[in-house]
Structure formats: structure tokens, C-alpha cells
Structure 1
């Protein structure tokens, strides 16, 4: 049961690394071009970073939710959350690829 939660934590970590990479590119592009589009991408990245940091906090450090996620959460809910995180990781990998291309 805990393997799904460990995999969740791993995908959140990967997402954070990808988002930080995207933020560095989008921030640099905004400083160079000063367009609303690049600013919008940067703000979007900041919101996504905040969401993933909050999720990481809940899954690792929150005293109540950490225990619930690790031991008491139904298996179907663990799998559903994992699937959502996998979709997010795939989307971020694709977004990173087209941004660096």
C-alpha cells in the first residue's frame, strides 16, 4: 500500500524539478522579451510550483495527512491520485521538451 505513496512522492519531486527548469527558461525569456505571453507562462509556472510544493508538504510533513495517506487512505484513492500525478508529469515532460526545442 505504501508503494503508491512513495511513487506519488517521487512523481511530485520530478514535477518540481521540471517546473523549476521551465521557470528558469520562462523567467529568462520574460526578462529578454518583456511580453505578456512569457509573463503568463512564468506566473502559471509559479502557481504550478506552489501546488506541487503544497502536495509535497501534505504527503511528507503534515502530521495528520501524512499518516492518513500512508496507512488509512483507500487503495482506489491512492491509485487515482497517482494517475493524476502521472498525467501531470507526462504533460510537464512534453512542455519541457517543446520549451527547450
Structure 2
């Protein structure tokens, strides 16, 4: 596994940790308020958490998938980084 895929995997793990934190807060809020908005946030976090778990699995089990295309590896790394940035903003707003 090259450095780009290792960094993308690390970002996916960080994304998963951020999503787990958000999911905990939003589940607590859903239990308290029972609104469709909080349910939507719970569903959003759960789906993205599964997506990041699958990404980590793919990075480890199918390394050859990206090995032939450095631009694809760079694009995947950039998308993981952007997702982490978006989750950082969402976490900040949620914790306010």
C-alpha cells in the first residue's frame, strides 16, 4: 500500500470517528425530541459511517484497485480530506 492510499485510509478512519461522535449526539437528541430532522441526521451519520467502513475495507482488501492510477489515488485522498473538513464544520456546529 503506498502513502496516498495509507493517508486516504487514515482519513476514512478519522471520518468514522467524527461520524460516531455525531451519531451519538444526534441519537441522544432524537430520543429526547423525536423529530424528523433529528432522525434524518441519525440516518445521514449512519449511512456515511457505513460508507467509510466499506472504504477502509476496500483500501485494505483491494489495494490493486488504485495501484495502477496515481490520479485516482489522489482524487480519493482529496475526497476523503474534503469529507473530513465537512464533518469538522458539522461537528463544530452540532456541539454549539
Q: Same fold (TM over 0.5)?
A: yes
Structure 1: which 5+ runs fail to align?
A: none
- Tell me, in whole angstroms, the C-alpha distance in 1 between the residues paired with 2:85 and 2:50: 19
Q: Which residue of 1 aligns with 2:40?
A: 40
Q: Per-residue deviation at 1:74?
A: 1.1
Structure 2 residue 59 is the aligned partner of structure 1 residue 100:
no
The TM-score with structure 2 as length reference comes to 0.94
Q: Which residue of 2 aligns with 1:50?
A: 50
- Tell me, in whole angstroms, the C-alpha distance in 1 between the residues paired with 2:68 and 2:94: 37
Residues 42-80 of structure 1 show CA distances to partners (whole Å, capped at 9, x for unaligned) of: 0111111111111011012x2xx12343xx231111111
Q: Which residue of 2 aligns with 1:66?
A: 63
Structure 2: which 5+ runs fail to align?
A: none
Moved over 2 A (4+): 66-69
Structure 2 residue 93 is the aligned partner of structure 1 residue 84:
no
The TM-score with structure 1 as length reference comes to 0.90
